[in-house]
Amino acid sequence: MRFFLFLIVAFSFAACTSNNVTTDNSLKKYFDEQKAEGCFGLFNNGNGQFTIYNLPRYRDSAFLPASTFKIVNALVGLQTGKITNDSMIIKWDGVTRDNPEWNQDLSMYRAFRVSAVPYFQEVARRIGRDTLQHWVDSIAYGTKKIKGPVDSFWLNNTLKITPDEEMGLVKRLYFNQLPFFTPYQEVVKKAMLFEDKPTYRLSYKTGLGRKEDGTPLAWVVGWIEENRHPYFFVLNMESKDSTADLLNGRMTALRGILKQLGFFEGQR
Catalytic residues: 67
Q: Between the CA atoms of 99, 158, 237 and 256, what dihedral angle is there, to the nearest 10 degrees? A: -70
User: Are 23 and 126 spatial neighbours (Cβ–Cβ below 8 Å)?
Assistant: no
Instruction: Give the chain's radius of gyration (CA, Å).
Output: 18
Which residues, in sequence order, are CB contacts of 86 under 8 Å at separation 6+? 107, 108, 109, 112, 187, 190, 191
The closest of 140, 146, 208, 136 to 168, measured between CA atoms, is: 140
Which residues, in sequence order, are CB contacts of 256 under 8 Å at separation 6+? 30, 33
114 vs 99: CA distance, rounded Å: 9
How many other C-beta atoms can be found within 10 angstroms of the C-beta atom of residue 117? 20
Q: State the angle between helix axes of 117-127 and 129-138 in degrees (0 to 180), rounded to the nearest 10.
A: 100
The closest of 207, 219, 224 to 253, measured between CA atoms, is: 219
The CA distances from residue 85 to 70, 101, 178, in Å, are 15, 20, 18
